[in-house]
Structure 1
Amino acid sequence: MAQLYFKYGTMNSGKSFEIIKVAHNYEEQGKAVLIFSPAIDTRTGKDEVGSRVGFKRKAIPVGEDTDLYRQVAAHQPPGAEKRIYCVLVDEAQFLSRKHIDQLTRVVDELGVPVMAFGLKNDFRNELFEGSYYLLAQADKIEEIKTICWFCDRKATMVIRYVDGLPANEGEQIQIGGNEDYKPVCRKCYKAAFAEQKQEEA
């Protein structure tokens, strides 16, 4: 039975690498997949999923008006011999509520499993829109773990850096890499801002 999966983790937890690995495993068995990635994320190209270890895969860019259900249905017409076995979504936190609704239709009406990968919370520790509705709608939720940048605890949060300093104000969506964001545990997150306040005092 097809299900909607939400696999979340902080920066550097290997989410994009996991997508590339899952796609490879399906395709090695001759089973086609579709990969989607929000058009807003152009770090490795506007139509690619890229991991920090250097692997890349072509992806279908998702814009505000993209209908994910129609995209998948178009690749899976009734009676077709070759069908889509799995849909993979990178940076799913950037999706809108309607995109998540469309993914539920892919699962429920087309019978295609969907694996959505993304961040759960932003640099202010607030949920992204896509993450919020995935947490509400997903059949299965799984954490992809990584360690804190500053200690050996599990990273559960992200610090955004602006001009080398931790920031907890600003636009929610700002695309960046290791120079802009660090995965951290809750203790180190609090310590970073406490230290900054002491320096400003």
Structure 2
Amino acid sequence: MAKLIFRYGAMGSSKTANALMVRYNYYERDKKVVLLKPRCEDRDGAKVIKSRIGLEEPCEFAEDFLENYSGEHYDCIIVDEVQFLAPEIIDRLSDLVDTYGITVICYGLRTDFQSHLFPGAQRLMELADDIEQIRTICWCGKRAHFNARLLNGEMVTEGEQVQLGGNESYISLCRKHYKQRKIEG
């Protein structure tokens, strides 16, 4: 049974590594799978998905894939960095589940550095058949689900919602330390 699945987690929770491992599981069973990501996500190159631990695979842009999709069979579509997709694109991904019986597994952040939902993540929270949290920990050892943006080693709370970056720009914190703006012990 095809489903729309949203797997979310804070920065550093291994979302991309998980997406690439799931893709490999389908691939080694001779299933047809495609990796997608938003066009705006170009940190590791235009059409590549790369995890922090070094796993990487070629991908397509979600927007282009959906624009050109003509009904071909896929066993699974895996989308990384889904928070950056517009709600209309999320709706179109849900149409692939409902119309073509394709499982779509989406990976991304739920909230931004101000703890507000990204529009793509909000739409997934509204539409997804299954919602799963991928957990990571704060520097203190508690569960982290807040993404703190850093500038010159300090937490910032103002700025554009989307700013691409990795470990140099973001850290995952528990609620207590996010509220306290305390990024280390």
> In structure 1, the residue corresponding to 2:168 is in which secondary structure?
coil
2:99 counterpart letter in structure 1: E
1:131 aligned residue (92, 115, 121): 121
Q: CA deviation at 1:43?
A: 1.4
**Counterpart mapping for 1:1-201 below 5 A:** 1-63=1-63, 66=64, 68=66, 70-74=67-71, 76=72, 83-148=73-138, 150-192=139-181
Given that residues 7 and 133 in structure 2 are in contact (C-alpha distance below 8 angstroms), is that contact kept between their aligned partners in structure 1? yes
* Runs of at least 5 residues in structure 2 that lack an aligned partner in the other structure: none
Q: Distance in 2 between matches of 1:73 and 1:51?
A: 30
**Which is worse superposed, 40-49 or 1-10?**
40-49
1:129-152 deviations in whole A, cap 9, x for unaligned?
Answer: 00000000000000000111x210
Structure of greater Rg: 1
Percent of aligned pairs sharing the same letter = 39
Given that residues 73 and 110 in structure 1 are in contact (C-alpha distance below 8 angstroms), is that contact kept between their aligned partners in structure 2? no
Q: Distance in 1 between matches of 2:93 and 2:179?
A: 36
**Which is worse superposed, 92-101 or 37-46?**
37-46
> In structure 2, the residue corresponding to 1:104 is in which secondary structure?
helix
1:88 counterpart letter in structure 2: I
1:125 counterpart letter in structure 2: S
1:70-122 deviations in whole A, cap 9, x for unaligned?
Answer: 54435x1xxxxxx3100000000001011011011100001000000000000
The two structures, once aligned, show a CA RMSD in angstroms of: 1.7
Given that residues 146 and 172 in structure 2 are in contact (C-alpha distance below 8 angstroms), is that contact kept between their aligned partners in structure 1? yes
Q: CA deviation at 1:190?
A: 1.3
TM-score normalized with structure 1 length? 0.87
> In structure 2, the residue corresponding to 1:16 is in which secondary structure?
helix
1:52 counterpart letter in structure 2: R
Q: Distance in 2 between matches of 1:33 and 1:72?
A: 14
2:129 counterpart letter in structure 1: D
Count of matched residue positions in the alignment of Structure 1 and Structure 2 = 184
Q: Distance in 1 between matches of 2:108 and 2:154?
A: 25
Where does structure 1 differ by over 4 angstroms across 4 or more consecutive aligned residues?
none
Given that residues 156 and 183 in structure 1 are in contact (C-alpha distance below 8 angstroms), is that contact kept between their aligned partners in structure 2? yes
* Runs of at least 5 residues in structure 1 that lack an aligned partner in the other structure: 77-82, 194-201
Q: Distance in 1 between matches of 2:65 and 2:34?
A: 14
TM-score normalized with structure 2 length? 0.94
| Alignment CA distance shift 1:113-1:71 (3 Å) | farther
| Alignment CA distance shift 1:36-1:67 (3 Å) | closer
